[in-house]
Each structure stands twice: as C-alpha cells, then as structure tokens.
Amino acid sequence: MAATAERKVEVFDTEEEVAVSLAKYIADLSDKFCKERGAFTIVLSGGSLIESLRKLVEPQYIDSVEWSKWHVFWLDERVVPKDHKDSNYKLAYDGLLSKVPILPGNVYSINDALSPEGAADDYETRLKHLVNCGVLALSAASGFPKFDLMLLGMGPDGHVASLFPGHPLLKENKRWVTFIKDSPKPPPERITFTFPVINSSAYIALVVTGAPQAGSVQRALGNGQISDKLPVQMVSPEGELTWFLDKDAASKL
Ligand SMILES: O=C1O[C@H](COP(=O)(O)O)[C@@H](O)[C@H](O)[C@H]1O
C-alpha cells in the first residue's frame, strides 16, 4: 500500500543527545507545517519516548514553537482512567502537555469511560470528523488519515504502538483505530492506530534508546534475512522515516 519510505538512521552517543536532536527535528517540522497548512498534527506514543521530549519545554522552544497550532493525538492508549499511572495521556500531560501552551481543545485523548471497543470506535469517529473539518489531512494514496508527524517508540520485543509480534492486529487493513484486550505487555486493554494509518504519515520518528532494544534494532536495520517480520519492520511510511538511536540501542549494528 505505502510507497517505500525514505529512511534515515541517526546514532547518538547518549540519550541526552537524542533528546536534543529530537527537539530540533520536531520544532523544525512544526514550523514547516504551521507555515504550509496553519496546523501541525502530531501523534505521541507512551513509554520512554515522553522523557526524550524533555528538551521541548526549554525556553528556546517554549518561546518559538507555535503551540496554539498543534493538534495532539495518541498512537496507542491504555484503556484506564486518565489519572491512572498506566495512562499514556497522563505520562504525556505530566511530562510535556502541562508545560506548554497547547490549546486543551486540540488535545485528543481517548474517552476513558468506554470499553476498549467503544473507545476505539469513538476515537476513529473523532478522527473522521477532524478530516471532514480539514484539521487532519487524508492520504490520496491510501485513503487513510495522514498525520504530519508520528513519534514512535519500540519495545524490546519490537512492538510499536500496541501492535505486538505475531498478533492478528498486525494484519488489520480497514480500521483506522482498533482495540486489543490481550496485550502481552500490561495493561491488557488498549486501543491502537493500525498500520495503514501509521504508514500514511508524512513523517515518522522512531526513537529507540537503551541496550534491551538492541536485538530488535539489529533485526530491523541489519542485513539478516528473517521471514517473520517484527512490528517495527512493518513501519514504512509514505513520507520520511528517521530513526533516532543512542549508542546502546545501536550496539548490535
Ligand atoms: O506499551 C507501550 O510500549 C511502547 C514502547 O515503550 P518503551 O517504554 O519501550 O519505549 C510505547 O511506544 C507504546 O506507546 C506504549 O503503549
């Protein structure tokens, strides 16, 4: 479905250098899309990614980024209350959103009062509404929503979003947002964007730090021929894919 991605791999000595470079990358894309279309649609993951966004709250970016034009989404979310320790929304709110002047109405968190099925349906319906009102673009190539930037993390097992190795959801090709009730990583109930949505993105940053991830990074970026693809190997956007790795994550390359 998606055209072959333009892929860049950036390796930094430290996670601190990853965070510095990532902040500039995001700020530059924000500037580009705010100028081009008057809005910037950015998709956050949970996990270690949020800590790596810490440089965005420094004065240099607080004062220059057009935060009021940001529209913030989640690649995946755990179906727990928003104040629960496992909530990806809470993680992002505490680490970033509470510290920058993004309009509350432009932060699209899930309805945590619904079941996983209901929350996935509700999120997909809200995305369709945002396409209809022009906030969210639609990919002419795939017919799925085209976010300006997605920030992906990767688990040690090679999962991205809540799309886990060997799970049937890897093959979902109709839904924009779906749900899982048997996530191998707790908590079990989650909603997640599907691969057709991920791969319709204009830009994707895959941010991976730490030694436990090195084996999956090697499988994804090394030369070995392995027939069984890890979820991370299925990330192939219409636009540009950039890996941000620290030395530990890249240690087996
Ligand atoms: O459960 C999740 O895990 C992945 C990876 O997290 P990390 O802490 O290993 O970076 C994360 O990207 C996803 O959003 C989250 O729900």
Q: What is the DSSP string of 97-159?
A: GGGS---GGGB----TTS-HHHHHHHHHHHHHHHHHTTSSEE-TTTSSEE-SEEEE---TTS-
CATH fold group of domain 8-229? Rossmann fold (3.40.50)
Mean pLDDT of 156-182: 97
Domain boundaries, the chain: 8-229
Q: Is 196 in the pocket of ligand 1 (CB under 6 A)?
A: no
Distance of CA 140 from the midpoint of ligand 1 (Å): 29
SS3 for 28?
helix
Mean pLDDT of 141-150: 98
Q: What are the tens digits of pLDDT across the range 221-251?
A: 987 666 678 999 999 999 999 999 999 999 9
Mean pLDDT of 124-137: 97
Query: pTM of this prediction?
Result: 0.96
Q: Is 242 in the pocket of ligand 1 (CB under 6 A)?
A: no
pLDDT at 3: 47
Q: Is 162 in the pocket of ligand 1 (CB under 6 A)?
A: yes
Residue 75 has pLDDT above 50, yes or no: yes
Mean pLDDT of 178-189: 98
SS3 for 162?
coil
pLDDT at 1: 41
| Spatial CA neighbour of 154 closest among 54, 41, 48 | 48
> Six-digit token pair at 10?
């950036």
More confident residue, 250 or 4: 250
Q: What are the tens digits of pLDDT across the range 84-120?
A: 999 999 999 999 999 999 999 999 999 999 999 999 9
Residue 59 has pLDDT above 80, yes or no: yes
Q: Is 158 in the pocket of ligand 1 (CB under 6 A)?
A: no
**Nearest CA, atom 15, ligand 1:** 46
Q: Is the dihedral of CA 67, 193, 6, 232 positive or negative?
A: positive
Q: Is 47 in the pocket of ligand 1 (CB under 6 A)?
A: yes
Q: Is 185 in the pocket of ligand 1 (CB under 6 A)?
A: yes
Mean pLDDT of 134-153: 97
pLDDT at 227: 64
Question: Could you report the predicted ipTM of this complex, rounded to two decimals?
Answer: 0.98
pLDDT at 4: 52
% pLDDT > 70, the chain: 96
Distance between CA 119 and CA 110 in Å, rounded? 6
